Chain A
Amino acid sequence: MSRSFTFRNGVIAALLLVLILLPAYVMLTGDRFLLTLFTRIVILAMAAVSLNLILGYGGMMSFGHAAYLGIGGYTAAILCFEGIQSGFVQWPAAIAVSALFALVVGALSLRTRGVYFIMITLAFAQMAYYLASGMARYGGDDGLAMESRSQFAGLLNLSNKTTFYYVCLALLFASLFLVWRMTNSRFGLVLQGVRSNETRMRAIGFPTFRYKLAAFVIAGVMCGLSGALIANHTDFVSPAMMFWTRSGDLMVMVVLGGMGTLFGPVFGALALLFLEQFLPAMISAMVRPFNPAGAAKAGEYWQIVLGPLLLIIVLFARGGIDGLLGTLSRHLPGSSERGHG
């Protein structure tokens, strides 16, 4: 990480500041919707950060990462349903179950590579999806409502939207800090070596499997915790949160934001959820002058715009949003950032 002030670092600082001060803005304007949207962004950013650890730094194309969102969420919701409302139980349980699932999936998938790895991780996620659909006691296809949010013995009231937002934000920052330390550590260097050239890593004496597995479990745990947060956020879990398209969304966030960069996934989550939220209205507004009757309908096709947008980013800005900011940093006057991915 470059220590000097650059355009990129400036944007990152501004983003963090916006995230921290958002509730104050919401309080002033009374725009509760914005707080809900940003809570969702922060939670999914944390999930994307966890995926980035294995995908961006470790080169592991896990295509079943949303499974952990569901597993963490269901663990919290099921415990709540069964009368255990303490977050001190629910959250560690969400972590433990995610860790176990990651351990099993990782142990079976990490010896394969490429398409096989993608398919195995996808298959496990779909298994989790169908398992949740089949749990009649817990709502099956319809999902399960979480009657009350996780209780923290009166220390935190998660039903307060601002408090809940800050809890999510604190956990996102903690995840970022953890990933930052980890990726610069010996462990992180091994992970990046594996991404770059795994055969060579084994040739120089690294038993790569165990390091990949460790990273896989850490990422699963982090994502499982964000799943518990989602359950609290929406007061509801359903199999849909594990569907493979959700895993795709997480991947898009990572790629869009910049793989293997610390803040990339946060940018990616922000960008994707903003587009998802506002692109339909923007399209409607653009179509309205030409075809007032069809404007609302046109908005439904926002993904037709999103697709090419992603394509352009992948083709022309390999480093995603973070890479774009880095390029800008180098071209803006007064910056001295050297090439850094």
Chain B
Amino acid sequence: MADALLQVAGLSKRFGGIVASDAIDLDVVPGELHAVIGPNGAGKTTLIAQLTGQLHADSGTIRFAESDITKMPMYERSLIGLARSFQITSLFLDLTVLENVLLAVQAHAGHSFRFWSDARSDAALREPAMAALARVGLADRALQRASALSHGEHRQIELAMALAGKPRMLLLDEPMAGMGPDESARMVAMLRELKGGLTILLVEHDMEAVFALADRITVLVYGRVIASGRPEEIRANAEVRRAYLGEGDWERAHAR
């Protein structure tokens, strides 16, 4: 697809004898929410790690906004608009909620060799940070220490941090992981609001959420793409059914 924002072609990664990514092709077009699903061990996290630059691929290319970013280091990818949220919450727990988001804004506000003026009262940082916190509904918790908030709220901070950098694309690595049903529902509602305005690649275990949100779905099994298409196509795909045979998630999501 020529107009894809993110284009992955032939991406491969092996760890010893294990093929974690096996010639993965993936296109994400601007404005869509593209979900990547797959059973445990399918290589979803490896894929995300390669997209963010945490891992480097053995072969294949990653193009983002028409430029080759296959070998670009992690921090530069973030600066050109590829934001990620972590599967395992990875915040600055001993800093305040606001400081967490301030740092995310600051990362995109030029170099930080500014030694003198107070960063916390700097409107150029504070206003976008507060706006992002308001967007995820955490504005009133801004001055609390991040460690004092609940798991679900941590995911909201993650999202606020991803949004704070005004990214062109969000990589969400299991944003619903470890959430209760209420928190999940809130996250789904929040993602639905973000969708359309933002291109999102969503890696998620929660099938219900995936089928409720995704415009297109790619299914990974043993590091290989076995199907890619609209939700109803994926739902009807025999190979996907086989891959998920016996997995409770799948049955629950399609029992309705």
The interface of chain A, by Cβ under 8 A from chain B, is 181-182, 184-190, 192-193, 195-197, 199-207, 211, 214, 339, 341
Can you spell out 7 A-B residue pairs with CB atoms less than 8 angstroms apart? A181-B115, A184-B119, A187-B113, A190-B112, A196-B92, A200-B86, A200-B90
Other-chain contact of B116, A181, A201, A339 (Cβ < 8 Å): A181
Q: Is the CB of A207 within 8 A of B118?
A: no
Q: Is the CB of B75 within 8 A of A203?
A: yes
The 7 closest A-B pairs by CB, nearest first: A205-B107, A205-B78, A196-B92, A186-B114, A186-B112, A186-B119, A204-B107
Other-chain contact of A188, B54, B86, B119, B165 (Cβ < 8 Å): B119
Main SS of chain B's interface residues?
Answer: loop
Complex CA gap A207/B111 in Å reads 9
Residues of A close to B118: CB separation below 8 A: 184-185
Given the interface pairs A193-B95, A205-B107, A339-B145, the reply to whether A187 lies near B102 with Cβ below 8 Å is: no
B148's nearest neighbour on chain A, judged by CB, is A339
Other-chain contact of B108, A182, A186, A203, A205 (Cβ < 8 Å): A205
Complex CA gap A185/B145 in Å reads 19
Interface contact tally, CB-CB below 8 A: 93
Q: Is the CB of B84 within 8 A of A203?
A: yes
Complex CA gap A182/B117 in Å reads 8
Q: Does B122 contact A (CB under 8 A)?
A: yes
Q: Is the CB of A189 within 8 A of B106?
A: yes
Residues of A close to B104: CB separation below 8 A: 204
Given the interface pairs A203-B52, A204-B78, A204-B161, the reply to whether A190 lies near B90 with Cβ below 8 Å is: no
Q: Does B103 contact A (CB under 8 A)?
A: yes
B117's nearest neighbour on chain A, judged by CB, is A185
Q: Is the CB of A187 within 8 A of B115?
A: yes
Q: Is the CB of A186 within 8 A of B106?
A: yes
Residues of B close to A203: CB separation below 8 A: 52, 54, 74-75, 78, 84, 86, 90
A338's nearest neighbour on chain B, judged by CB, is B143
Q: Kindly provide the distance from the CB of B208 to the nearest chain A CB, expressed in whole angstroms.
A: 28
Q: How many residues of B are in contact with the other chain, CB < 8 A?
A: 37
| Given A200-B86, A204-B161, 18 additional A-B pairs, CB 8 A | A185-B117, A186-B112, A186-B114, A186-B125, A188-B119, A189-B106, A190-B103, A190-B112, A192-B99, A193-B95, A197-B90, A203-B74, A204-B78, A205-B75, A205-B107, A205-B108, A206-B75, A341-B94
B94's nearest neighbour on chain A, judged by CB, is A196
Complex CA gap A204/B114 in Å reads 18
Q: Is the CB of B79 within 8 A of A185?
A: no
Given the interface pairs A200-B91, A205-B79, the reply to whether A189 lies near B119 with Cβ below 8 Å is: yes
Complex CA gap A200/B78 in Å reads 11
Complex CA gap A341/B96 in Å reads 11
Q: Is the CB of B90 within 8 A of A205?
A: no
Q: Is the CB of B165 within 8 A of A204?
A: yes
Given the interface pairs A196-B95, A339-B145, the reply to whether A185 lies near B114 with Cβ below 8 Å is: yes
Residues of A close to B74: CB separation below 8 A: 202-203
Complex CA gap A204/B91 in Å reads 11
Q: Is the CB of A197 within 8 A of B92?
A: yes
Q: Kindly provide the distance from the CB of A103 to the nearest chain B CB, expressed in whole angstroms.
A: 15
Complex CA gap A317/B58 in Å reads 49
Q: Is the CB of A204 within 8 A of B103?
A: yes
